[in-house]
Amino acid sequence: MTDPQPLLAALADPTRKAVYERLSAEGPASASRLAADMPVSRQAIAKHLSQLSSVGLVGSSQQGREVVYEARIEPLHEMTEWIDTVGSAWDARLGRLRKTFDQ
């Protein structure tokens, strides 16, 4: 798996997380449409979308005069694999500790 830090950093921002969640739940949307219901400007939303795009969480396509953004889930699958790997390693460590103290 690639380094999860950029993905975690991108989703750590509450506005970026909200934008990603909206795209995931509601489907593709333009920056203008996303900004209409959020307390930030369209330009701010566009910057957040750019950051989400840079880590692969958002893709875009030109539709007429608008750029439409859509959520991509593939990076989250990689993140889940990483979390499972880290969790398994901790489970193994804790299991060894339990055996040590149970003896």
pLDDT value for 1: 59
Among 2-6, 28-32, 77-81, 94-98, the range of highest mean pLDDT? 28-32
7-18 pLDDT, tens digit per residue, is 999 999 999 999
Residue 22 structure tokens: 């909206």
Distance from C-alpha of 78 to C-alpha of 3, rounded to nearest angstrom? 10
Task: For residue 84, give Cα distances in angstroms to 36, 39, 51, 91, 96.
Answer: 37, 35, 25, 10, 18
**CA angle at residue 52 from 34 to 32, to 5 degrees?**
20
Cβ contacts of 64 within 8 Å, gap of 6 or more: none
**Contacts of 74 by beta carbon, 8 Å cutoff, 6+ apart:** 56
Q: What are phi and psi of 60, to 5 degrees?
A: -140, 155
**pTM of the model as a whole:** 0.80
Domains in the chain: ranges and CATH: 5-102 (1.10.10.10)
Confidence of residue 60 (pLDDT cuts 50, 70, 90): very high
Work out the angle at residue 67's Cα, subtended by the Cα atoms of residues 61 and 68, and round it to the nearest 5 degrees: 65
Confidence class for position 26, pLDDT limits 50, 70, 90? very high
